Amino acid sequence: MPRILAPRNLPMQQRALEKREMILSVTAKLLGTVGQDDLTTILIANKTGISVGTLYHYFPNKYSILFALSQRWLNEIDYALDDIDNFSLKDVSLRDFTNYSIDRMLNVYTDQEGILPLVQLMSGVPELKELDEEHDEKIIFTMSKIFNRLSISSNPLTLSRLSQTWLEVTHAILLIAITSKKDDKKSILSDLKHMIMSLLEKAKSNF
């Protein structure tokens, strides 16, 4: 039987919106400490300081909260993509573009509490996996347009392949970077930027 993932009606009043965001933030913190298996609506309500009945006023079950949390994180990625898309590409070097795009995405990964268990959930829970895969297609489409504007290629297949590689490589390595020690993190990010820039330079030289 499919899970009910739709939240209750999205609140309109500011206080209700703030409470909903608090529920999501508390859930994100709990994911990083107790994990999915021990995460319950009772625990979320207790840590949020509200009754379970009030919690159910916003979300029908735990998975509905996790779905909304996933959507919130993907929305933050969308904001980052908009910034990257709006980055001035006229006469910009691939180095500058790579530095900006990676640093902007790093902010999204750094700011999301409980990111590792959330990513695991999004790959393991069918409904969340579907949401994630649909969003990946959006990222690939956006990055393809950007790479085209950078004159890296005009071939749709090449642009799609480059964008998928950019997505998968940055995602995997940023997850490693944010859980590493400060000095290691710096080296990992440097290596990531070098890999992405080399990939783009190679594709552009063949254009």
Do 174 and 77 touch, CB atoms closer than 8 A?
no
Residues in the chain: 207
Q: Which CATH superfamily is domain 68-205 in?
A: Tetracycline Repressor, domain 2 (1.10.357.10)
Is residue 1 over pLDDT 50? no
Considering only residues 15 and 168, tell me which one the structure prediction assigns the higher pLDDT: 168
Cα 49 off chain centre by:
28
User: Residue 8: which pLDDT band, with cuts at 50, 70 and 90?
Assistant: low
pTM for the model stands at 0.87
Mean pLDDT, the chain, as a whole number?
Answer: 91
Is residue 60 over pLDDT 80? yes
> Which candidate, 78, 207, 56, places its Cα nearest to that of 143?
78
Q: SS3 breakdown of the chain: % helix, strand, coil, rounded to 5? A: 75, 0, 25
Q: Which residues, at least 6 apart from 28, have a Cβ–Cβ distance to it below 8 Å? A: 69, 112, 113, 114, 118
Rounded CA gap, 34 and 27, in Å?
10
Rounded CA gap, 88 and 44, in Å?
43
Is residue 99 over pLDDT 90? yes
> Which candidate, 202, 133, 203, places its Cα nearest to that of 168?
133
- Looking at residue 5, its pLDDT comes to 61
Is residue 12 over pLDDT 80? no
- For the segment 86-106, the average pLDDT, to the nearest whole number, is 91
pLDDT per position as a tens digit, 133-161: 999 999 999 999 999 999 999 999 999 99
Is residue 115 over pLDDT 70? yes
Give the residue extent of every domain in the chain.
14-62, 68-205
Is residue 36 over pLDDT 80? yes
Is residue 132 over pLDDT 80? yes
- Looking at residue 14, its pLDDT comes to 81
Q: Which CATH superfamily is domain 14-62 in?
A: Homeodomain-like (1.10.10.60)
